[in-house]
C-alpha cells in the first residue's frame, strides 16, 4: 500500500504536515501549503528592503506548481513523498 506524505523542509527542519491515501489528495494539500508559504513571503517584498532579492527569489521558487521541480532551498520547500507501507 502506498501513502503520500506532505510536508516542508529547510536547512534545520523537516515537518510532516499530513498523510494521504491518494496522490490527488496529497497534491491538493501540497498546493495549499505552497500557497501558504508564498503568502507569507510576499508581504516581505514591500517591508524588508534590505532582503528584497531574497524574498523575490522565494516568491519565484514557490510559484512553481510542480512538486517534482520546486526548489526553495535553503528556505521552506514543500514536498510530497511516496512511501510504501505494509498493511
Low-confidence ranges of the chain (pLDDT < 50): none
Quick one: pLDDT at residue 4? 98
Quick one: pLDDT at residue 65? 95
C-alpha cell at position 29: 494539500
Task: Round the CA-based radius of gyration of the chain to a whole number and report it.
Answer: 14
Quick one: pLDDT at residue 35? 97
For residues 28 and 24, give the distance between their C-alpha atoms in angstroms, rounded to a whole number: 6
Check if the beta carbon of residue 61 is closer than 8 Å to that of residue 53. no
Quick one: pLDDT at residue 43? 87
User: Could you state, in order of their start, the residue ranges of all structural domains in the chain?
Assistant: 2-84
pTM as predicted: 0.88
Amino acid at each position: 500500500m502506498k501513502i503520500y506524505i506532505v510536508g516542508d523542509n529547510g536547512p534545520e527542519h523537516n515537518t510532516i504536515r499530513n498523510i494521504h491515501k491518494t496522490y490527488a489528495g496529497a497534491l491538493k494539500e501540497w498546493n495549499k501549503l505552497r500557497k501558504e508559504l508564498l503568502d507569507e513571503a510576499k508581504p516581505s517584498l514591500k517591508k524588508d528592503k534590505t532582503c528584497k532579492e531574497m524574498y523575490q527569489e522565494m516568491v519565484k521558487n514557490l510559484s512553481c506548481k510542480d512538486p517534482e521541480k520546486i526548489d526553495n532551498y535553503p528556505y521552506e520547500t514543500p514536498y510530497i513523498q511516496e512511501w510504501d507501507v505494509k498493511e
